[in-house]
Amino acid sequence: MSHIRRDVMKKTLVNGARFDGRAMDEFRPIEIQRGAITTAEGSAIAKIGDTKVLAAIKFDVVKPFNDRPEEGVLTTNAELLPAASPSFEPGPPNEYSIELARVVDRAIRSTECIDTKSFFIEPEKALGLYIDLYVLNHDGNFTDAATLAATAALMDTKVPKVENNKIVRGSVDRMLNPSRLAVSTTMIKVGDYWLLDPSRDEEKVLESTITIATTDDKVCAVQKGKGALTKTEFLDLIDIAFKRGKDIRGILKG
């Protein structure tokens, strides 16, 4: 069936059309809901088409890493909920959830958008910021939806007050206000064509895949998956990532 689906899709792409009518470099409709969880320090739900991801942020007092004793800690976790897709199974994190967490974590960390030095409390005590990602519905490209949800949640995040080395839950010391906004663009290759924001059906027949995370002025993370690409293709895809990244940041700021 996958071979039949790939052949049909290639014939459609030759005519310049995708199954859902989008252009090759076009995202599905994007929606963002901030403050989705009132008990979290920050949260957001991001939808790309029918793919939906929740990001929730919490703080805790932790011991800093030995190589950065005067900085706070940033940690990202991801969970693919079984109800989101028939292909997701219950149990410990699998390779896909681990990869998702690492891609989003790398994108945010590389932007240096969070001043982790401001999380320092006293020797061996600092704030730890935890980003928890939950794929609520999977219809393709949950990576870009997760990065979008995480960035939107950071924009919604309120840093709590700390008294006697303990967090005062429900209090607000300041807004986090990330200095840069990381977004990612995932593209797959089917035949001779690169498709932005692949649907679930398109992902089933991909031959190559790449995710490029950007800020306004730099590439902050690249995750190469299955398949290969040429140098020319890579540079072209970076151009697309910057172009569509600008569009998404406009939605985030809107």
pLDDT for the residue 1:
52
Question: Using CA atoms, how far apart are residues 134 and 8, in angstroms rounded to an integer?
Answer: 33
pLDDT tens by residue, 46-98: 999 999 999 999 999 999 999 999 999 999 999 999 999 999 999 888 999 99
Contact 122, 14 (CB under 8 A): no
pLDDT for the residue 3:
63
Burial 121-144 (b: 16+ CB within 10 A, else e): beeebbbbbbbbbbbbbbbbbbbb
Burial label, 189 (beta-carbon count in 10 A; 0-12, 13-18, 19+)? buried
Q: What CATH number does the domain containing 14 carry?
A: 3.30.230.70
Average pLDDT value for residue range 161-165: 95
Sign of CA dihedral 225, 231, 232, 237: positive
Q: How many domains does the chain have?
A: 1
pLDDT for the residue 10:
77
Backbone angles phi, psi at 3, to 5 degrees: -65, -40
pLDDT tens by residue, 201-249: 999 889 999 999 999 999 999 999 889 899 999 999 999 999 999 999 9
Burial 231-248 (b: 16+ CB within 10 A, else e): eeeeeebbebbbebbeeb
Residue keyed to tokens 């895949």: 209
pLDDT for the residue 7:
76
Backbone angles phi, psi at 73, to 5 degrees: -120, 135
Question: Using CA atoms, how far apart are residues 225 and 34, in angstroms rounded to an integer?
Answer: 30
Sign of CA dihedral 202, 182, 26, 43: positive
Assess whether pLDDT exceeds 80 at residue 8. no
Helix (H) or strand (E) holding 91: none
Average pLDDT value for residue range 1-17: 74
pLDDT more than 70, % of the chain: 98
Q: What is the token pair recorded at 86?
A: 């028939």
Range of the domain at 119: 2-253
Average pLDDT value for residue range 34-50: 97
Q: What is the token pair recorded at 63?
A: 């011991």
Question: Using CA atoms, how far apart are residues 68 and 89, in angstroms rounded to an integer?
Answer: 37
Cite the DSSP H helix spans in the chain.
Answer: 2-14, 95-111, 142-156, 200-203, 231-253
pLDDT more than 90, % of the chain: 86
- What is the pTM for the complete model shown? 0.94
pLDDT for the residue 16:
77
Q: How many CB atoms lie within 10 A of CB 227?
A: 12
Confidence of residue 148 (pLDDT cuts 50, 70, 90): very high
Residue keyed to tokens 């190559």: 208
Assess whether pLDDT exceeds 70 at residue 104. yes
pLDDT tens by residue, 114-144: 999 999 999 999 999 999 999 999 999 999 9
pLDDT for the residue 2:
62
